[in-house]
Amino acid sequence: MKTPEALRALIDDGVIDEVLRPLKSGKEAAVYVVRSGDEVRCAKVYKDMAQRSFQQRVQYQEGRKVRGSREARAVGKASKYGRKQQEAAWKNTEVDALYLLRDAGVRVPEPYGYYHGVLVMELVTDADGFSAARLGEVELEPDQARQFHQTLVRQVVRMLCCGLIHGDLSPYNVLVGPDGPVVIDFPQVVSAGGNNAARSMLLRDVNNLTAYLGRFAPDLLDTWYGEEMWALFEAGSLLPDSELTGTFVHDESTIDLDSVRYAINDAREEALIRQQGREAAEEDDDR
């Protein structure tokens, strides 16, 4: 295949030797399978974002630190230079998060470096050596779904103990490797202690996973792991290996419990509707 312009500098510098094939392309990045010596890895090429995209990401950027006072002032004024710095910070955030989370024991792709705006990292594969499927693309037995849920809840806890929340966690940001789930895509990662929407984003992350895995193990739909871990986090008592029960007693005197349940069930129903749509499409293809 023709080498993408963004990857030529990595070949010239000897970081990679060859681009093998495209892996996936989204709104914010394109990922390629590359060869580096005897290793097959992937390279994530970030796309430049328009002004509209910056506005959509405001809620995620709250609480993030800008490295210099000049840059902070420019970002605040939304100048051309400020948008450039904001774009750079958006890309650097994922790189920094991957190294931090890897060191904390979170199962994420192993990062190998960030060069010329390109993130080189582990290519997550399945047991046969092919690119791993996303969690949202696989069918699971009930026990396997429960095991995956337990593993992913533990990953979320470890992230939270690092002061981070994924912010966009769903069955499509989780790969199924031979040793279990691997969490991917962190450019929108949220500061747990510095973002006013941190709690709601954490609950959304956990509930997105619970909604999908609850299709295969319905008993998961009656759990409240997000609320439980956030309460421990706020109390300063959450540890990477804290034992969670999935139960949580809501204080009905200070919150609207119906609204809480509505928000959680809405996330779960959305996942079920998406799956039903896919199943209906598959049935049409079989006819």
Residues 6+ apart with CB under 8 A from 112: 36, 41, 120, 121, 122
Please identify which of the residues 12, 96, 143, 168 carries the catalytic annotation.
168
Q: Spell out the residues 6+ positions from residue 188 whose beta carbon is closer than 8 angstroms to its own.
A: 57, 60, 166, 167, 168
126 is catalytic: no
Q: Which residues contact 96 (CB under 8 A, 6 or more apart)?
A: none
129's CB contacts (< 8 A; 6+ apart) are: none
Q: Which is the catalytic residue, given 12, 103, 185, 258?
A: 185
Active site residue 266: no
Strands 190-191 and 180-183: unpaired
181 phi and psi, to 5 degrees? -70, 145
The tokens describing 129, both together, are 């050596």
148 and 135 in contact (C-beta within 8 Å)? yes
Beta bridge partners of 45: 30, 118
* Whole-angstrom distance, CA of residue 214 vs CA of residue 69: 47
Structural element, H or E, at residue 238: none
List active site positions: 168, 185
